[in-house]
Structure 1
């Protein structure tokens, strides 16, 4: 399992969330939304300090991570986070 954050996505988060070098961004499982892996669940994003990192990717000086207790959501697959510049939106794909 891996977390792969593309550089344009990291830059978008950095700008939108006013992140600075060394900040941490947690990807977590939340109730509701349009998740493609588990019906009724989706992924949320927030600035937070890690407690027990399951997987991490550092891009553009930002540490993106998923806590160990949320790793079940990926079902042994990778999470790819990219940015669609035409639609100006983040795309999260579990594959």
Structure 2
């Protein structure tokens, strides 16, 4: 699995969430909602500067974006691309099938 953060998404995280160099953002699966690949579950995110057993990490503009091992079930078989959606003024997520 890999995480890709676009320049526009990175800017949103900095502007709207106030993250700066050295901060972290964790992505996780949560109950309720729907994604392109899950029914009954949606993606969540939170500011979390201390990863706990990350299965994937990527640093963009000094911020560490990651998924912990306890959320592997949600992302299993997919890479995550995070972009900015101007219509919703927030992140949008693309799940890209991988060969894991």
**When the two structures are superposed, what TM-score results if normalisation uses the length of structure 1?**
0.89
> Could you tell me which residue of structure 1 aligns to residue 42 of structure 2?
42
> Could you tell me which residue of structure 2 aligns to residue 9 of structure 1?
9
Residues 37 and 73 in structure 1, CA contact (< 8 A), matched pair in contact too: no
Give structure 1 regions of 4+ aligned residues with deviation exceeding 6 angstroms.
none
Q: 1:1-95 residue pairs with structure 2 within 5 A?
A: 1-48=1-48, 49-85=50-86, 87=87, 88-95=89-96
Give 1:33 shift. 2.2
Give 1:92 shift. 0.4
CA distance in 1: counterparts of 2:25 and 2:46, whole angstroms? 6
Deviations 1:3-41 (A, max 9, x none): 111121011011111112110100011111232222110
Q: How many residue pairs were aligned?
A: 94
Residues 55 and 65 in structure 1, CA contact (< 8 A), matched pair in contact too: yes
Root-mean-square deviation over aligned CA pairs: 1.3
